[in-house]
Structure 1
Amino acid sequence: MKKAPGLLILSFSILITACSSRKAPAPIVEIYQGKTFRDVKKSSYSAHTYTVEKGDTLYTISWKSGQDYRDIAKLNGIRPPYNIFPGQRLTLKNSPRSIVKRSNNGTGLSSNSKSNQVVDPPKKQAYGKSNATVTKEVTTSSGSEFPSKIAAWLWPTKNTVTRGFSNTEHGNKGLDFNGSLGSPILATAAGKVVYTGDALRGYGKLVIVKHSDSFLSAYAHNDSILVKEQQWVRAGQKIATMGKSGSDTVKLHFEVRYKGQSIDPLRYLPKR
């Protein structure tokens, strides 16, 4: 029992010696601060649900979750004008048990079909799956107020691309452009402004423009927003100025989405 203090002193001396012999600095764990466009408030999500927060709209929820807003509306019995309220728990997609495997008579083939695939498209739209073969959007709704095709795509800025698109899990889901504070940001195509604001964490001041029943574009980190929701804009119209809201540097983060899925804008923008 009398040797215990000596053992403690010896152990402490060894620990001090080990620490003093370290040549490299102690490792630092970097805490993710949500300063990139990829960040969303994870606590609001589960595998198939989302809890509405202040400032959310069905469009912003669709944008964050990558789901078609029409599917979300149908799953939750929400009708136009799609009013939602903070604290409301929304189902984003059916559970795997709702997927039914059906066979085609006489073909020997089978396909997976989700019960929420067929939705009557209303006059306001949002997003859902990518289609790698799509070059121009042809709408499926004869009653849509949007054009059946996107006539032209324009660059949202004359500035240089500093970061390209990546389809990896944590890749850049659009294009990043450099620039100076106040540089003009232009609508990439004609359409209707469906969202302006800063409710999407990591995007800063954001503008989302709907171009057709399935195509949308987003312009993030703006300094000032020059358009209002529900306003129609023409291709090339100045809709915002470049800033660093939600970012450490002045830049434009630009995305194009087809039915909610991020796609490479370079597939549509004209060659420079």
Structure 2
Amino acid sequence: MFEDRQGQWTYGLSRLRAGLAGVGLAVLLGACANVDQQQTPPTSQPQPDPSASATPASGAAASAAQAAQAAASAPVTRVVTKTTYVRVRRGDTLQRIASSHNVSVRDLSAWNRLKSNSRLRAGQSLKIVSKQTITVQAAAPGNAAPANTVQSRAVAAEVARHASSVTLVWPAQGRVVEPFAAGTTRGIEIAGKAGDPVIAAADGKVMYAGTGLNEYGSLIIVQHNKDFLTAYSHNRRLLVKTGDMVHQGQQIAEMGNENNDRVAVLFEVRRDGKPVDPMPYLPTPQS
């Protein structure tokens, strides 16, 4: 479950440094994608002047604009291949797990490279692959906090420079249920309730927002400078899109359990593409 994608991230970051336009990372993640990246929300439509008299033509144009906006923001349904994980509990067998997830023992064994009579150990993670119909939600206009031009330029300037460190805030309120372990985990997991806010740990640019990597579920990647980025995985709903400038403390997602066996956000800090322990960059640990 915790197999590191260091090579993929490093490749993506090398492409980012070539222009920081997000193209390298989008291509990287798109190559692994089962579905297209999250839909771009429509921009706000201009509001009519109440003092102006409406004409049939302007009324028709407004209706057409409203219809186009509604169509653009409508959820999109897709059939995708989903990879989820379950943790083995004491007494579980392949037969019991296969039956509870409506899959065959043969498939379950093949996905996990096990023999049909293999004995399982408590805490072991098993992969389950399925075809599922999902609805990709477009972020509703107004969910992301607006940023004026001056603020956006300041964030863009920070993203474009090298830095020896980054100052972060906690991306979610909750208990750390999975600590960082070099070579084993990619980051820390912070547990909570479905729908709890997930916030940007620092100012930055959203380099990716979508469902491109199976093990991450709904994923957001934020670049803070040329050396540091953060990632937020397993979200229930994304509230930003690729290319957005976000600010520290701004809500960017809702916590969920997408491709995870518990409601939690997997929070990663990457330096030069390599996962590092987020704790030294965060304030005093949450109680």
Structure 1 residue 69, shift from structure 2 partner: 3.1
- Are residues 70 and 186 of structure 1, via their aligned partners in 2, closer, same or farther at CA, if it must alter by over 3 Å? closer
Q: Is the 8 A contact 1:68 1:259 kept in 2?
A: no
* Counterpart pick for 2:244 among 209, 224, 231: 231
Structure 1 residue 144, shift from structure 2 partner: 7.0
* Counterpart pick for 2:169 among 154, 174, 187: 154
**Which residue number corresponds to residue 205 of structure 2?**
192
- Are residues 145 and 190 of structure 1, via their aligned partners in 2, closer, same or farther at CA, if it must alter by over 3 Å? closer
> 2: CA distance between counterparts of 1:65 and 1:242?
25
> 2: CA distance between counterparts of 1:208 and 1:180?
22
TM value normalised by structure 1? 0.50
Q: Is the 8 A contact 1:37 1:201 kept in 2?
A: no
Structure 1 residue 148, shift from structure 2 partner: 5.3
> 1: CA distance between counterparts of 2:16 and 2:249?
32
Structure 1 residue 250, shift from structure 2 partner: 1.0
**Which residue number corresponds to residue 180 of structure 1?**
193
Residue 207 (str. 1) matches residue 220 (str. 2):
yes
Cα offsets for 1:6-29 (capped at 9, x unmatched): xxxxxxxxxxxxxxxxxxxxxxxx
Cα offsets for 1:84-126 (capped at 9, x unmatched): 5988xxxxxxxxxxxxxxxxxxxxxxxxxxxxxxxxxxxxxxx
Structure 1 residue 39, shift from structure 2 partner: 7.2
Q: CA RMSD, aligned part only?
A: 3.2
Structure 1 residue 38, shift from structure 2 partner: 3.1
Residue 266 (str. 1) matches residue 283 (str. 2):
no
> 2: CA distance between counterparts of 1:37 and 1:147?
31
Aligned ranges 1:49-64 → 2 under 5 Å:
none
% identical equivalent positions: 34
Q: For residue 65 of structure 1, give the secondary structure of its aligned residue in structure 2.
A: helix
**Which residue number corresponds to residue 119 of structure 2?**
none
Residue identity in the other structure for 1:189: A
Q: Is the 8 A contact 1:160 1:178 kept in 2?
A: yes
Residue 69 (str. 1) matches residue 82 (str. 2):
no
- Are residues 262 and 199 of structure 1, via their aligned partners in 2, closer, same or farther at CA, if it must alter by over 3 Å? same
* Counterpart pick for 2:257 among 231, 238, 244: 244
Residue identity in the other structure for 2:179: G
- Are residues 81 and 225 of structure 1, via their aligned partners in 2, closer, same or farther at CA, if it must alter by over 3 Å? closer
Where structure 1 has 5 or more consecutive residues not aligned to the other structure, the ranges are: 1-35, 41-62, 88-142
Where structure 2 has 5 or more consecutive residues not aligned to the other structure, the ranges are: 32-156
Residue 222 (str. 1) matches residue 187 (str. 2):
no
- Are residues 205 and 147 of structure 1, via their aligned partners in 2, closer, same or farther at CA, if it must alter by over 3 Å? same
**Greater helix proportion:** 2
Aligned ranges 1:7-22 → 2 under 5 Å:
none
* Counterpart pick for 2:3 among 33, 38, 48: 38
Residue identity in the other structure for 1:204: G
Q: For residue 279 of structure 2, give the secondary structure of its aligned residue in structure 1.
A: helix
Larger radius of gyration between Structure 1 and Structure 2: 1
> 1: CA distance between counterparts of 2:17 and 2:268?
26
> 2: CA distance between counterparts of 1:39 and 1:259?
14
> 1: CA distance between counterparts of 2:252 and 2:186?
21
**Which residue number corresponds to residue 34 of structure 2?**
none
Q: For residue 255 of structure 1, give the secondary structure of its aligned residue in structure 2.
A: strand
Q: Is the 8 A contact 1:38 1:202 kept in 2?
A: no
Question: What is the aligned length?
Answer: 156
Cα offsets for 1:50-85 (capped at 9, x unmatched): xxxxxxxxxxxxx6624243646899xxx9955859
> 1: CA distance between counterparts of 2:261 and 2:252?
22
Residue identity in the other structure for 1:236: G
TM value normalised by structure 2? 0.48
Mean Cα deviation higher: 197-206 or 146-155: 146-155
